Amino acid sequence: MLIGKKGEAKTAIETADANSITVRGKDLCNEVMGHNSIGEFFFLHLTGRQPTSDQAFFMDVLVVALAEHGLTPSVQAARMTLAAAPEALQGAVAAGLLGVGSVILGSADVCGDMLDDAAARVEGGETAEAAALAIAHEYKAAGRFIPGFGHPIHHPVDPRAVRILQLAEERGVSGRYVNALRAFPDAVAEVWGKTLPMNLQGPMAAVLLDLDYPKAAIRGIPILARTVGLIGHLNEETERPIGFLLAHHGEEAIEYDGN
């Protein structure tokens, strides 16, 4: 029994024969290997199109910006998993990736939806400031966090967010989504009654949408970046193990109360 939507039994991504491998219509060995960076290949693999120089540039910038976040819960989970199962690097990476969610690293796609809404309101005749303020009020009234804002460490600004917007201006890629985003800091401060730093997720979503990245794939970029970061931590775990130490201190920090 077929469950779910019936799709056509075809793929446009890869095929191979005894002598060649073809990815998105290109010969992998002769047209891609040695010609494409990881950012360029990712865009080609994702869309079937060769990226522009700006699309490839910002893909590389964002992977670098997102790869390392220190000893976050996902990194701790990965390092403790490798400590317990040193033969299973893939399991440790998977354990870390399971911790990539809306609280840590995973709100860029939600921010993309918010910016889509703001840009549509601006095209409908509202100012960017009015659109941002109305959306901020709607999020606050619904008891929802405002995606792209707030950070536990970086105050009053996230330096990575500043750098992404600076690069977008320097390369002339700021468009309707970056312009919509720029109206949000004042709106958020007014509605929440305090300054919330713009984090990396907002500029990431805005720049990628202005560069015509598929919105549905935006969440995948932090996952790709976090994979890079996790492998670095797991390599260090093999050389300077702290996984069991993290588990030990975690257990010591929790008081048993009998309930």
Q: Where are the domains of the chain?
A: 22-103+218-252, 108-210
Q: Does residue 7 or residue 11 have the better pLDDT?
A: 11
Instruction: Tell me which residue of 103, 91, 75 sits closest to 236, measured CA to CA.
Output: 75
User: How far is the C-alpha of 48 from the C-alpha of 219, rounded, in Å?
Assistant: 19
End-to-end alpha carbon distance in the chain: 47
Quick one: average pLDDT of 21-48? 96
Q: Is the pLDDT of residue 190 over 80?
A: yes
User: How far is the C-alpha of 123 from the C-alpha of 131, rounded, in Å?
Assistant: 10
Backbone φ, ψ for residue 39 (5° rounding): -65, -45
pLDDT band at 13 (very low <50, low <70, confident <90, very high): very high
Please tell me the predicted confidence (pLDDT) of residue 2: 78
CB-count burial class (<10 Å; 0-12, 13-18, 19+) for 15: exposed
Q: Is the pLDDT of residue 75 over 80?
A: yes
pLDDT band at 231 (very low <50, low <70, confident <90, very high): very high
CATH architecture of 22-103+218-252: Orthogonal Bundle (1.10)
CATH architecture of 108-210: Orthogonal Bundle (1.10)
| pTM of the complete model beyond 0.85 | yes
Residue range 60-74, pLDDT digits in tens: 999 999 999 899 999
The CA–CA distances, whole Å, from 181 to 144, 207, 235 equal 18, 10, 38
Cis-peptide into 156, omega within 30 deg: yes
Dihedral sign from CA coordinates of 21, 33, 24, 26:
negative
